[in-house]
Chains A and B, each alone.
Chain A
Amino acid sequence: MMRNSRIRRVPMALSALAALAFSVMPLPAVLDPFRPDLLVLVVFYWSIESPRAGGLALAFFGGLALDVIRGVVLGQHALALTLMAAWATNLRLRLRVFSVLSQSLTIFTLLTGYQFVLFWVDGATGNPVTAYSRWAAPVIGGLLWPLVAGVLSRNHDR
């Protein structure tokens, strides 16, 4: 068990790094507001797949890296990601037996929670973003979930 979780640290870190890169990759301005939170999906995946391999640590430090790269207040994404990863870890046994549709819906709820924490911290620190399009990311993330989870489960070593 412990050996397994140690082996999977590498794909975990690699996938998180790729998702981090995607979060600041230049996209056409039209698509920009609809960029899915890929890092969150990756963290959810690892929280559900191997909760003992340090999903929460990944969530916290991944979120912190996102804060630094995006230049927002330190701890914003770290807080949101930690809370939602903990929730996902808590739901993992149910999530594993859900159908794809129910999984997507659950992930959508978690992503909305994530977005809400970000929204709240934005407001509390005095620069609220009230554009409605920020709530599009959870929808797209929920739709992308089967794809992301499929790609990740195919590629990490078994």
Chain B
Amino acid sequence: MVAFRNSDTSARTSGLLIRCVLYSLLALGLIIFDKRYDHLGQVRRFLSVVAYPVQVAVASPFAGWNWFRESVTTRDVLRLDKVKLEAELRLANFRLQRYEAIEAESQRLRALRDNTADVADRFVIGNILDLDLDAFRERVLVDKGARDGIFVGQAVLDSGGVFGQVARVEQLTSEVILVSDATHAIPVQINRNGLRTIAVGTGDMSRLKLPYLSTSTDVIAGDLLVTSGLGGGFPAGYPVGTVAEVKRDPAQSLADVEVRPAAALDRSRELMFVWLKPAAAAAASALAMSSAAAPAAAAGKTAAAAVASKSVSTPKPTTPAAKPAKAALNP
């Protein structure tokens, strides 16, 4: 039984209604100003700096526990880890040898066709703060903010693939919305056949879906999905997930495709924020490389390279100049 004091039974709470109305109007005003006019950016920034110590304080016991667990691991475990990491590094380096050459070649070819995608240019690594922001939205708080140049809409990756994008930036922190959030969608491409579509979150960290594919679409379980770079938010070619299951119901016009995200959405602690190099600059550098590297190429190609290098020298480049290049190649 809960015992309340009976001290104020006779005293009426003066002006309860007035205060209630005042506070409610204030709150409503805040909602409208924050949502409709977005005037509260500065206020929010300030408040979030005040809230930061609380957030860090709440997260710190869990961070401390993780630190403790890491610092008491045995020598054997560390040695096993080291062996495993070395093996992974060797494999990664082996793959990387060809990757750089292929990347450059792909940029050159794309530049000739004038559809160079945005390339990742610069990374900043941030740590996830151990907080549950909202049970019904897949979001995390990261300890990098406006101070570090983070901006809204920025692509965020982890070591496995695309993690999400920045939804809100405060002074010291930023909020990242995961690819699995029910309100998140990302333009993707099936790596096997280049088919473009959109992957939509489900609200479940282990699952995305492709809702816009018809039953006759060429998609099979095991297909790798990569970012298509369309829309400009994400760099092209980063893994988003693999197709886990394709259900085709003949009565429906759309297939039911389930995707396992490539990023470790529920386990990653470190995220990479990506700055893109604008497509025009990337194209120019790729073309500069190609025109420098191919002085003695075949006749048809030199013509194209000549046109292309002209496009580099003119300040307002690729679009008008690359058209004749295509025309020259076509007949």
Contacts and interface: CB of A to CB of B under 8 A. Distances in A.
A7 interface: no
Contact of B35 (A48, A68, A73, A82): A73
B153 to A, nearest CB: 16
Interface residues of A, number: 59
Interface in A23-78: 24-27, 29, 32-33, 35, 48-52, 56-57, 59-60, 63-65, 68-76, 78
Nearest to A70: B133
Contact of A69 (B40, B43, B54): B54
A74 B133 contact: no
Contacts of B62: 26
Interface residues of B, number: 55
Contacts of B152: none
Given A56-B19, A78-B27, A26 B132 contact: yes
Interface string B12-37: 01001101100110111111011100
A127 interface: yes
Interface in B27-84: 27-31, 33-35, 40, 43-44, 47-48, 50-51, 54-55, 57-59, 62
B54 A21 contact: yes
Interface string A105-146: 000000000000000010011110101011000000000001
B26 A86 contact: no
A73 B44 contact: no
16 contacts: A1-B11, A24-B131, A25-B132, A52-B13, A64-B30, A64-B47, A69-B51, A71-B139, A74-B33, A75-B28, A75-B34, A82-B24, A96-B4, A133-B135, A134-B136, A153-B2
Interface of A: 1, 4, 17, 20-21, 24-27, 29, 32-33, 35, 48-52, 56-57, 59-60, 63-65, 68-76, 78-79, 82-83, 86, 89-90, 93, 95-96, 100, 103, 121, 124-127, 129, 131, 133-134, 146, 149-150, 153
Interface of B: 1-9, 11, 13, 16-17, 19-20, 23-24, 26-31, 33-35, 40, 43-44, 47-48, 50-51, 54-55, 57-59, 62, 130-137, 139, 141, 168, 175, 183, 203, 205, 266
